[in-house]
Structure 1
Amino acid sequence: MPPQNAGFLTRLNEQHHKTALGLFLVIVVAHWAEHIAQAIQIYALGWPLKEARGVLGVPFPWLVTSEWMHYGYALIMLAGLLLLRRGFTGRSRTWWTIALGIQFWHHIEHFLLLVQSMSGTYLAGRPVPTSIIQLLVPRVELHLFYNAVVFAPMVVAMLLHRRPTPTERADMRCGCALAPAPAPAPA
């Protein structure tokens, strides 16, 4: 355990890593659920795009149209992936870093959307703020894709982190690992 006067990042990635990862996962899954709910509203329920706003967007429609809210979430995701990275070792760190890299790009796309929203000048003469990849893929599908390609390596990282190799376990400074399997009884 780190000393009481250890820095914030040390405490976060050592004694509080498991709890912080759990809280971060709740935030990520809640956001994922919103995108999935919106896709269900569009593709399963046949709602028009303007009415398909996810769960929170139905009572609070301004949430869906707020580029600040979307950028804020992209920033929270980026910060969470960056702040919690130090606690990972070995293979899990590699997968976590992959998620971080993809989220960095996703954050850039949201920053571009925010700048367009604030300036009123839109990419490629589009009538609404448009990200670079959105020139090729519609926004709803693009965000389902982005969430999937960030979430998948996060899940792999968390599973590997909970089940480290002996070498990875020796390098870990947090209590995230599951108890090691008992050694087989001698024959």
Structure 2
Amino acid sequence: MATTSVRRSSSLNSHLHKTALGVFLFIVIAHWAEHIAQAVQVYLLDWPLPQARGVLGIPFPWLVTSEWMHYGYALVMLAGFIALRKGFTGSSRTWWNVALGIQVWHHFEHFLLLMQNLSGLHLLGKPVPTSLIQLLLPRMELHLLYNAIVFVPMVVAMILHRRPRSADRDAATCTCAVAFAH
């Protein structure tokens, strides 16, 4: 069993790294698009927040209100950052680690929300599950912020990974780097 997971991790960070990063990026952008659509619905279309549910939340309203779904997405993000980390080297690894660190906190916040939802005990007696930073920022805006501050270093890491310095290219275990004609 351990050998299989080591092989899978090795594959994800070698010959499958570029594909896995593409799938991961697609998932992240799709999620980002949902939050942006919700913000457009609120700020540009002037929809009341309960009706502003993004794109998928219109036909499937439970997606917006399910703490399990939000926690599951945060967990998938965390797992993706961890699983794909070994494929990064040098400065791209540093930026990936920054995104991972922020995602660890974001995951913790969603875990806190899920535990409040399951227990019925809400932070500081609030009427709904509330994250720590949500005490300072409304939930919709907070999730836009979280997605942005995870996304930016993630994209910087991916760009540096695809266009590495020669020392980082030599240390790479994958074939993600763009080949340049000399």
TM-score by length of 1: 0.94
CA distance in 2, matches of 1:80, 1:140: 23
RMSD (Å) for aligned C-alpha atoms: 1.3
CA distance in 1, matches of 2:150, 2:27: 13
CA distance in 2, matches of 1:76, 1:59: 23
Moved over 3 A (4+): none
User: Any idea what the Cα deviations from partners look like across 1:116-143, whole Å, max 9, x if unmatched?
Assistant: 0001111011110000000010000000
CA distance in 1, matches of 2:111, 2:62: 18
**Match for 2:115: what amino acid?**
V
Partner of 2:92: 92
Partner of 1:185: none
SS of 1:96's equivalent in the other structure is helix
Question: 1:181, CA displacement in angstroms?
Answer: 4.1
CA distance in 2, matches of 1:53, 1:125: 26
Q: Percent identity?
A: 69
Partner of 2:11: 11
Mapping of residues 124-135 of structure 1, within 5 Å:
124-135=124-135
CA distance in 1, matches of 2:138, 2:181: 47
CA distance in 2, matches of 1:48, 1:148: 23
2:120 paired with 1:141: no
Question: 1:180, CA displacement in angstroms?
Answer: 2.6
Partner of 2:23: 23
How many residue pairs match? The answer is 179
CA distance in 1, matches of 2:97, 2:156: 11
Partner of 2:81: 81
Q: Provide structure 2 residue ranges, at least 5 long, that are not aligned to the other structure.
A: 1-5
SS of 1:58's equivalent in the other structure is coil
**Match for 1:167: what amino acid?**
A
Larger Rg: 1
CA distance in 2, matches of 1:62, 1:180: 48
Partner of 2:166: 166
Partner of 1:40: 40
User: Any idea what the Cα deviations from partners look like across 1:149-182, whole Å, max 9, x if unmatched?
Assistant: 0000000000000000110000001010000341
CA distance in 1, matches of 2:117, 2:85: 32
CA distance in 2, matches of 1:112, 1:165: 40
User: Any idea what the Cα deviations from partners look like across 1:66-99, whole Å, max 9, x if unmatched?
Assistant: 0000000000000000000000000000000000
CA distance in 2, matches of 1:74, 1:135: 20
Partner of 1:3: none
